[in-house]
Structure 1
């Protein structure tokens, strides 16, 4: 897998999360909502701390600057969070399958549902839908108010917290129910922990398009290690880094 050296524009905090912005002008590898990159602090192979890059969704892409939203969970993300403007990181070109927006138009109404760090793709997707004049609502769910500060990066989101400290008390689906119900939407796009995605799939009306972006642990990002497989109907397992991370809900064997 090829890595590119990219100049860091800055790193900022959003509550418990970080946003890393880097310059990405490669027109032949333009980011799309739902795709991801493998990212690591510059210095490989001189430093193997850590050995594996980290898979991170595109949080935004605007004016030749890509943004990644992540939570510090270990050495890889800690090294990325310490980066400063003017330094460099190493990233791949965009990977994986993006959200399919081909059937949307100005008469569609779309719901974006993010849970925890799964909110990451939806700032970029919201911007993209606005350019297409597709009406949409964004619902973001978090465990508590501190994590909910990640919603500050979004335009007019509806927020839910499990402890009730911010917005609706309960899950992101509770927020949808309290805002008119899921039946008002012609398409659903969701990303978050698997129990949340399974709940969205179950709640989606049968005639509504529902796409789910899974959060699986990835080692390679190119399908070599088979560490991120998910069960699908009639096919056993497929790799979320290649065949996903976005799947039509009906394909997943949950």
Structure 2
């Protein structure tokens, strides 16, 4: 995996979330793909590995990353102004060859890949609805960012809900009215969507996994899947991070 030096074009803080924009003239990211990123001027070995981050948006020569600051790695990225080291887009993203209408569902604070997906679907004339969870404890700045960034999205506040993923899916309504569900979110959100979609509608889930090599050689991001009735493992960084819901052995 090669990391390329890129210019940081802007940084915005929205509660605990940071939106980083950088100049990119290489291969365009597809919805659901990710990049490996680290600060350009950080010379230390802590953290040792770059961070895998979904491509949030891409327009012209600008790619943006949206992430929540959770640890040292994301904190260093959030504070970087001089430049980043990023990989080219990696992995297998969402399949968008079908017709609409489709639903984009974001659970918790992991909605990042849905903006680029929405942009591409709109460009292709595919009707789509967007449902985004505003989880309990999320700063108002984050909720306001979602309102601005996803203009026509339905925002579902789940503070106080006993089962937040179920609350989000209840707001979506009759799943059979959609051709496909595209889901990004917490593990609980993905599992709830997988089970709700079984036998009803096609669903694609964007998984967040810890990664090291990002080229498939270390198998550190392997996830259980069904193939020909047998349980096996596939790498989120190569065969994913987006998987068909029915393929996941959860």
TM-score w.r.t. the length of structure 2 is 0.90
Q: Deviation of residue 102 (structure 1)?
A: 1.2
Secondary structure at the counterpart of residue 68 of structure 1: strand
Aligned counterpart in structure 1 of residue 89 of structure 2, from 75, 91, 94 = 94
Q: Distance in 2 between matches of 1:157 and 1:173?
A: 18
Verify: 1:119 aligned to 2:111, yes or no. yes
Verify: 1:80 aligned to 2:77, yes or no. yes
Q: Deviation of residue 92 (structure 1)?
A: 0.2
Secondary structure at the counterpart of residue 20 of structure 1: strand
Q: Distance in 1 between matches of 2:155 and 2:211?
A: 28
Secondary structure at the counterpart of residue 97 of structure 1: coil
Q: Distance in 1 between matches of 2:166 and 2:119?
A: 22
Q: Distance in 2 between matches of 1:118 and 1:249?
A: 17
Q: Distance in 2 between matches of 1:95 and 1:179?
A: 30
Q: Distance in 1 between matches of 2:124 and 2:180?
A: 15
Secondary structure at the counterpart of residue 190 of structure 1: strand
1:39 corresponds in structure 2 to 37
CA contact (8 A) 1:32 1:98 kept: yes
Secondary structure at the counterpart of residue 116 of structure 2: helix
Q: Deviation of residue 48 (structure 1)?
A: 2.2
Secondary structure at the counterpart of residue 21 of structure 1: strand
Give the gaps of 5 or more residues in structure 2: none
2:234 corresponds in structure 1 to 238
* C-alpha spacing 1:18/1:142, structure 2 compared with 1 (3 Å): same
After the TM superposition, which segments of 4 or more aligned residues of structure 1 sit over 3 Å from their partners? 147-150
2:205 corresponds in structure 1 to 212
Give the gaps of 5 or more residues in structure 1: none
Q: Distance in 2 between matches of 1:155 and 1:172?
A: 22
Secondary structure at the counterpart of residue 202 of structure 1: helix
* C-alpha spacing 1:194/1:179, structure 2 compared with 1 (3 Å): closer
Aligned counterpart in structure 1 of residue 50 of structure 2, from 42, 49, 53 = 53
Size of the aligned set, in residue pairs, is 243
Secondary structure at the counterpart of residue 125 of structure 1: helix
1:137-216 aligned within 5 A? 137-144=129-136, 145-146=138-139, 147-152=142-147, 153-163=149-159, 171-204=164-197, 206-216=199-209
CA contact (8 A) 1:10 1:83 kept: no
Secondary structure at the counterpart of residue 110 of structure 2: helix
CA contact (8 A) 2:40 2:84 kept: yes
Q: Distance in 1 between matches of 2:119 and 2:12?
A: 20
Verify: 1:227 aligned to 2:220, yes or no. yes
Q: Deviation of residue 118 (structure 1)?
A: 2.0
